[in-house]
Amino acid sequence: MTEETRPPKIRFIKVAEDEVAQFRELGQAVFGLGWVYRLAAFAGVSTRTAQRWSAGESTVPAGVLRDLDEQRRRLNETRYEQQLYDLLDAILATGLSPHVVSAHLRDAAARVKPEESTGSKD
């Protein structure tokens, strides 16, 4: 078969736009801004794989969707995010500098940050 008669290789599939929109909404609900990079670390895949999922170029594995949905459910049950923002508002209302608050938040984030993934699950 010559190169002219070979069918083109299909590198990516195209996922339905409504499914992509739901996935993006789920990802941002769980991880906030920068969710694609955080999702990659959470799922143990490369950033590029997570980007393909978010662009609808590749199907998201069912296990990843289940895990994300479970995390969203736990966030909603614990009201963690709302409690955190309420606490921040109360602290900032005391006049404590946002720079001081931010510094301590970075230290706290470093305390709970999981080890970086190498993306080896691709």
> How do residues 12-42 score in pLDDT, each as one tens digit?
667 788 899 999 999 999 999 999 999 999 9
Spatial distance between the Cα atoms of 8 and 42, rounded to a whole number of angstroms = 34
pLDDT score at 11: 60
Spatial distance between the Cα atoms of 122 and 118, rounded to a whole number of angstroms = 10
pTM above 0.75, yes or no: no
- Whether residue 82 is predicted with pLDDT greater than 50 in this model: the reply is yes
- Whether residue 121 is predicted with pLDDT greater than 70 in this model: the reply is no
Q: In angstroms, how far is the first alpha carbon of the chain from the final one?
A: 32
Tokens for 75? 């966030």
Question: Per-residue confidence at 79, pLDDT binned at 50, 70, 90?
Answer: very high
pLDDT score at 113: 82
